[in-house]
Copies of this chain bind each other. A is one copy, B any other.
Amino acid sequence: MSEPAPFLPAVSLITLGVADLRRATAFYEALGFRPAPQSQESVTFFQLSGVVLGLFGRDALAEDARVSPAGSGFRAVTLAQNFPSREAVDAAYAHALACGATAVKAPEPVFWGGYSGYFADLDGHLWEVAHNPFFERRADGRLVLEPLP
């Protein structure tokens, strides 16, 4: 057998630093996520279709990486969920706002031929809700651009 690659084409876990874990967890539960049983008092895990999403105290996350927690403004990271239609994007955006998300950009047609909007979660993490008619999107929300590695 050949040597395994040192780094796989994979993200196992996305962790979002949050100010108030209980509130953030409640927001994501309202959105439609369900905490995994491995969640603890200081961390919430959600088993998503292709990746695990974790919520962890913002300062604790900085401490874990041993970096300063100081930071503000644009984070240059967005998470996206793709939908099978423009109507589904509108419904998701409205649902997120009803759950307490902050409106950032109402869904609208975009130059590349899709339809997209953005909201922010309780801690300012940006989520895009999009319809991309050129990408294969599975019923579980995963995009499949190529055969899975």
Contact = CB atoms under 8 A, between A and B. Distances in A.
Given A14-B11, A145-B52, A104 B65 contact: yes
Contacts of A10: 48-50, 81, 140-142
B62 A74 contact: yes
A145 B110 CA distance: 36
A71 B73 contact: yes
Nearest to A126: B65
Interface residues of A, number: 82
Interface in A35-53: 36-38, 45-53
Contacts of A62: 74, 76
Contacts of A33: 9
A68 B7 CA distance: 33
B69 A16 contact: no
Nearest to A65: B118
Contact of A118 (B66, B79, B80, B148): B66
B17 A77 contact: yes
Interface of A: 4-18, 31-34, 36-38, 45-53, 58, 61-62, 64-82, 88, 91-92, 94-96, 104-105, 110, 116, 118, 123, 125-126, 128, 130, 134-135, 137, 140-149
